Amino acid sequence: MTRHYLDHNATSPVRPEVVEAVADAMRYDGNSSSVHEEGRAARARVEDAREKVRRLVNAPVNGVIFTSGGTEAIHYALHGAALNGAVKKIFVSTIEHAAVPANASTTGLPVEKVPARPNGLVDLEALKSMAAKETEPFLFCLMLANNETGAIQPVREAADIVHDAGGFVFVDAAQAVGKIPTNYVMLGADFMAMTGHKFGGPVGVGALIVGPNLPLAPVMRGGGHEMNRRAGTHNVPAIVGLGVACDLAARSLERAREIATLRDRMQAAAVAAGARAWGAEVDRLPGTLCLTAPGFTGETQLMAMDLAGIAISSGSACSSGKAKPSHVLGAMGCDEAEAKCGVRISLGWSSTEEDADAFCREWPAAYERAKSQAA
C-alpha cells in the first residue's frame, strides 16, 4: 500500500540533503571544544551552521544558542529568565504548546493565562488589560503559529503591548520556521525557540534565539559551551544537518501557495462531508488543517486513515492512557464532545497532489461509514 504522510507538524521527513550532510559530518573526528586541528574543524562546522540559522530567522550576531530541540529551548527561555529574577510573573496564552505552560509552572513564578478568541488568535485586548496592571517585569509567552490550527498569531502587536508595559516576549516559533517567513527582529521577540525536525532537519537539534544583553541565566552548567550559555558537547552532525535544512528552507517557502492550495482542497472535501475547519477565517500556516466531525472521534479518524495508508494526527492528547480533548479547541470555545472529534492534517516540503487526492478520497468515505454504523 502506498503511504501518504500528512503529519508534518509532528515531524517533517528529513530532507535527503540533510541525511547526507549528517552522515558526512559523522565521519570526522574532533570535539568542537578541542583546540587541535580536528577540534577546530568541528568548531568551524558548528559556526557555519550557526550562521545559516542566524540568516534564516534574522537573529542577532551571537544570538543563536544551540539546544536539543524546541522543548529544551522553551525550558531554557522560561527558567533562564526566572533564575536571575529578571521577571516576576509569566503570562501564557491559552493556545500554547503543552511544553510552555508545563515549564512555566516549574519556574516558581506566578503564572496567568491570556485567553484566545474563537478564531484562534490571542485576545490582544485582554493582554493589554493584564499587562497594564503589572508594576514589575514579566514574561509573555506567545507562539508564532499554532501547532493544531496553524493560526498565525499577532506577535508584533503583542510585543508592542508587552514592551510598553515593561515586559519581555518569548515566541515559540517551532511550527513557523521554514514554513513561513520568520524574522526575529521584526517580530519584536526577546527570546524565540525553533527546532529542526519541523521543516526537514534532524530530530534532536534546535536553537534558542536571544537578543544582546537580555537577562538569561544558563540552566545547563558544566562547561563553557555556547559562550557559557548552554553546557554540553555539541552534537556536530545534527547541528550541521540543521544548518543544511535552514539553507533549503527557501524551497518550502517558495511552495507555500501550492501547499496552501492542497490544504484548501482537502478542507473543502472534508467540510462538504460534514466536518468543521477551525481557524480557517484567519491567516494560517499553508499546510495546517484542523477538523472536527461530529460523532467521529479523533482516535477513530486516526485509525481509519492509517488503515487507508494516510498518516494524520489526533487532535486529542493522551495522558495515562486516557484521551483528553484538545486544549486549543477548548480555548476557542469548542465544547468537550466536539473537541474529542478533532484531528490535524499537516503538509510540508515533501507533500504531493497524490497525498491530497488520497485524503479527499478516503476521509469522506470513512466519515460516511462511521455515520452509517452509528445510525
CB under 8 Å to 221, separation ≥6 — which residues?
231
- Indicate if 318 belongs to the active site: yes
pLDDT at 148: 97
pLDDT tier for residue 319 given thresholds of 50, 70 and 90: very low
CA distance linking residue 203 with residue 243, whole number of Å:
13
Residue type, 39: G
Count the helices and strands in the chain (H runs, E runs): 14, 15
CA distance linking residue 80 with residue 85, whole number of Å:
9
CA distance linking residue 97 with residue 75, whole number of Å:
12
Predicted confidence (pLDDT) at residue 317 exceeds the cutoff of 50: no
352 to 42, 206, 260: CA distances (angstroms):
37, 27, 12
User: What kind of fold does domain 16-251 have according to CATH?
Assistant: Aspartate Aminotransferase; domain 2 (3.40.640)
Pick from 250, 240, 234, 228: which is nearest to 196 by CA? 240
- Catalytic hit among 318, 334, 341, 360: 318
pLDDT at 227: 75
Summarize pLDDT for 155-197 with one digit per residue, the tens. 999 999 999 999 999 999 999 999 999 999 999 999 999 999 9
Instruction: Note the helical H segments in 58-205.
Output: 70-83, 99-104, 124-132, 155-164, 184-187
Is residue 66 within 8 A of residue 233, CB to CB? The reply is no
pLDDT at 318: 40
16-251: same fold as 4-12+255-374?
A: no
CA distance linking residue 57 with residue 75, whole number of Å:
20
Q: What is the mean pLDDT of residues 122-128?
A: 98
User: What kind of fold does domain 4-12+255-374 have according to CATH?
Assistant: Aspartate Aminotransferase, domain 1 (3.90.1150)
H or E stretch covering 323 = strand 322-324
pLDDT tier for residue 316 given thresholds of 50, 70 and 90: very low
For the chain, which residues make up each domain, given as ranges? 4-12+255-374, 16-251
pLDDT tier for residue 224 given thresholds of 50, 70 and 90: low
Summarize pLDDT for 138-159 with one digit per residue, the tens. 999 999 999 999 999 999 999 9
- β-pairing, 206-210 vs 191-195, is antiparallel
End-to-end CA distance of the chain: 31
Summarize pLDDT for 351-369 with one digit per residue, the tens. 999 999 999 999 999 999 9
